[in-house]
Amino acid sequence: MSTLRSDSVKNRAGTGSPHFPNGLTGVAATFTGAVSGASYSGGAISGTTGTFSGAVSGTTGTYTGNVSVGGVLTYEDVTNVDSVGLVTARGGIEIGAAGVGGTITSAGAAEFVGIVTAKEYEVVNAGNTPVFKFRGASNNEIGKIDADAISGTTSQLRLYTEDSGNIGERIRIGPVGQFGIGGATYGSSGQVLTSGGASAAPTWATPSAGPEVFSDSTNSVGTIANGGTIKEWRITPTKAWTRAIFGWSGCYRAQSNGHVYIDVKGRVGGSGTWGNIHTCGANTPAGSGSHNWNQGFTVTGELHADGTRLTGAANTAVDILLTCSSSMSIDHANDTGHDHNYWVMFFE
């Protein structure tokens, strides 16, 4: 085998490169000009420029400058992609093997298996009703929240949930904060939300009015001596009632030692059985005289008849009767500082 040593090789005319019709074989080659060929295999090639009209095959490659690919670049594995410009994925993006962690389609739909964390979410819809939807395991819609633009400067927020497969509006917040149930059901002024229990939506309801009150603080009971009827009067509530509560405060004097009492009775409609409200009893102190007025009493209770709470319709008369035992007297003016007999009655 011969060895050729030369600083330069030219063609026969000395005007260009030599021609090697059977090719060149070597361990390495360095070219200062362009390299053109149909194919190449072997060791390293080093040069300033190179052109290959056929395929280039190799195990590794290192480029210190730019790489430009006019056609399709296909690769199996890339550790990192660092781009200072725009990255375009025309067919979409898959996260994880075959998109197991999430996908972003070419149409812009995104789906992620894990948690998505962001400082701010912005939902934009050209139709002025942006929607934030929730879907179940079968990709069925199970709820949503939308912001509806009523006009160019006002909007309302609506919340929907699923019931028996149907999505419906449950809560609405209007542009000034009004609260709607099942849509634009805002109720009327003064109404309150009333619970419908565990299986029904709340509703707007007008609260029931407070009790109707009758009273007298003018000592109208008067003076009754030695028992009997103290006072009987009639009250006519303007509203229907299911409970009547009576209260009376006064003073008495004892005619003799022992147990004295006051009965309060009531009846509805001007006839029928008198029902006891309460019996007030007191043990008279020993040695109390006929003009000892320092015994005070208070009577409170509900109208009952035979153990049943009395009720009444609107504009139905209610009679009240007060009696005392024969061993006492009721008075309001014979002892300074103890001259009071006041009563009040509540119907609700």
Q: Is 242 inside a domain boundary?
A: yes
Cβ burial of 9 (10 Å; 0-12, 13-18, 19+) is: exposed
Q: Is 90 inside a domain boundary?
A: no
Q: CA 244 to CA 233: how far, in whole Å? A: 15
Lowest-pLDDT range, 41-45, 186-190, 296-300? 41-45
Query: Is the pLDDT reported for residue 319 higher than 50?
Result: yes
Task: Using the 3D structure, point to which of 207, 224, 251 is the last residue of a domain.
Answer: 207
Task: Kindly state the tokens that stand for 267.
Answer: 């009846």
Backbone angles phi, psi at 122, to 5 degrees: -125, 120
Q: Is 330 inside a domain boundary?
A: yes
More reliable by pLDDT, 101 or 287? 101
Same domain, 193 and 316: no
Q: What is the pLDDT of residue 293?
A: 43
pLDDT band at 247 (very low <50, low <70, confident <90, very high): confident
Q: What is the pLDDT of residue 221?
A: 54
What value does the mean pLDDT take over residues 92-103? 89
pLDDT in tens, 143-154: 999 999 888 899
Same domain, 216 and 343: yes
Q: Is the backbone of residue 198 left (phi > 0), alpha (psi -120 to 50) or beta?
A: alpha
CB atoms within 10 A of CB 39: 10
More reliable by pLDDT, 257 or 213? 213
What's the farthest any 2 CA atoms get from each other in the chain?
A: 162
Q: What is the CATH number of the domain that holds 317?
A: 2.60.120
Q: Is 262 inside a domain boundary?
A: yes
Residues of the chain with pLDDT > 70: what percent?
A: 69
Task: Using the 3D structure, point to which of 172, 207, 242 is the last residue of a domain.
Answer: 207
Task: Using the 3D structure, point to which of 207, 223, 258 is the last residue of a domain.
Answer: 207
Q: What is the pLDDT of residue 203?
A: 94
Q: Is 194 inside a domain boundary?
A: yes
pLDDT in tens, 282-302: 444 433 444 444 556 676 778
Same domain, 185 and 253: no
Same domain, 172 and 235: no
Lowest-pLDDT range, 7-16, 206-215, 260-269, 331-340? 331-340
More reliable by pLDDT, 153 or 62? 153
Same domain, 137 and 201: yes
Q: What is the pLDDT of residue 303?
A: 77
Same domain, 335 and 217: yes
Domain count, the chain: 2
Same domain, 342 and 218: yes
Beta strands 36-37; 51-52: pairing state: parallel
Same domain, 333 and 256: yes
Q: Is 88 inside a domain boundary?
A: no
More reliable by pLDDT, 339 or 67? 67
Residues of the chain with pLDDT > 90: what percent?
A: 23
Q: Is 139 inside a domain boundary?
A: yes
Contact 296, 251 (CB under 8 A): yes
More reliable by pLDDT, 323 or 1? 323
Q: Residue 243: which domain range?
A: 212-347
Same domain, 343 and 226: yes
CB atoms within 10 A of CB 69: 7
Lowest-pLDDT range, 84-88, 190-194, 247-251? 247-251
Q: What is the pLDDT of residue 65?
A: 78
More reliable by pLDDT, 164 or 24? 164
Same domain, 153 and 222: no
Listed ranges 3-17, 59-73, 198-212; the one with the highest mean pLDDT: 198-212
pLDDT in tens, 212-242: 998 876 655 555 555 556 667 788 999 899 8
Q: What is the pLDDT of residue 78?
A: 74
Same domain, 343 and 221: yes
Task: Kindly state the tokens that stand for 271.
Answer: 């006839």
Same domain, 231 and 341: yes
Q: Is 258 inside a domain boundary?
A: yes
CA distances from 211 to 168, 185, 214, 267 (A): 40, 29, 10, 19
